[in-house]
Amino acid sequence: MEDKNRSAVVTGPTIVSMEGGSLQDFDDVTDCTLIASLNADLEASRFTHSQQWFNSYGSCLDWIGWEPVGDSYTQRRDTISGNVVQTYLTSLSSRQNTKLGSSVINLLIDSFDAVKGNGPAIYSLDQETARGELFQVTPFWRDGAGKLRMQVSRLKLVASVKSGQFLFFEMDDDSASLLQHYAEFVLNEARLNEKRQRIQQKLKENRMARFKLRLTSSQG
């Protein structure tokens, strides 16, 4: 059965997922990721200057009203075990500085399952990310105080051979690895409301495809 309490979408190089928010919240967070991607694309190439691109992405989020939590981005590298999705999900339990709750991890699992069943979304991700050269996973959730939070993970597949459907391709290359940069942000809603008109104008001027995902619960 489709889970109405959660939403997910693929847009550009990013998988966006959200738990517990309203439809307006989900529209807001999706719009924010789109604006940040468009701004970063103007500043640098996703692939040849990926660090500059990601810095621009984060700076734009901050301008919109997403305030960084704690220190700057944390980096880690993991050897691929199985496929990219399995490696990423396994890494979540051992990350430093930021931990996701079990409900958010389940949201990510179900989002990846939904991507796997959506051919157009998989094809778009392959094209937008050059088969894993740079892609992002951004879960959103409301914390106990009611504040909207997000974790941005920039991921890069490092492998001698890359395949279509790169997220789910079973690797037999012992040297393949997944490079991650990640950080957490909390939304200052007053700042977002101040920027809302400019965001909508920017979205009218720039279109990016969105592929809505149908989420079903992995918890039955």
Residue 27 within any structural domain of the chain: yes
Residue 2 within any structural domain of the chain: no
| pLDDT tens per residue across span 191-200 | 999 999 999 9
pTM for the complete prediction? 0.91
> Distance between CA atoms of 155 and 88, rounded to whole angstroms?
9
Does position 68 have pLDDT exceeding 80, yes or no? Answer: yes
Q: What is the number of structural domains in the chain?
A: 1
Least confident among 27-36, 66-75, 165-174: 66-75
Q: What is the pLDDT of residue 205?
A: 85
Residue 145 within any structural domain of the chain: yes
Residue 151 within any structural domain of the chain: yes
Per-residue confidence band for 130, with pLDDT thresholds at 50, 70 and 90: very high
Rounded mean pLDDT of the chain?
A: 90
Does position 58 have pLDDT exceeding 80, yes or no? Answer: yes
Residue 99 within any structural domain of the chain: yes
Containing domain of residue 192, as a range?
8-210
Least confident among 50-54, 82-86, 165-169, 206-210: 206-210
Per-residue pLDDT averaged across 68-91, rounded?
A: 89
What CATH number should be reported for the domain holding residue 135?
A: 3.40.198
Residue 1 within any structural domain of the chain: no
Q: What is the pLDDT of residue 218?
A: 63
Per-residue pLDDT averaged across 124-150, rounded?
A: 94
Q: What is the pLDDT of residue 1?
A: 42
The answer to whether the Cα torsion of 205, 23, 181, 97 is positive or negative is positive
Q: What is the pLDDT of residue 118?
A: 96
Q: What is the pLDDT of residue 101?
A: 86
Residue 67 within any structural domain of the chain: yes
Does position 97 have pLDDT exceeding 80, yes or no? Answer: no
Output phi, psi for 5, to 5 deg: -85, -5
Residue 122 within any structural domain of the chain: yes
- Residue percentage of the chain with pLDDT more than 90: 67
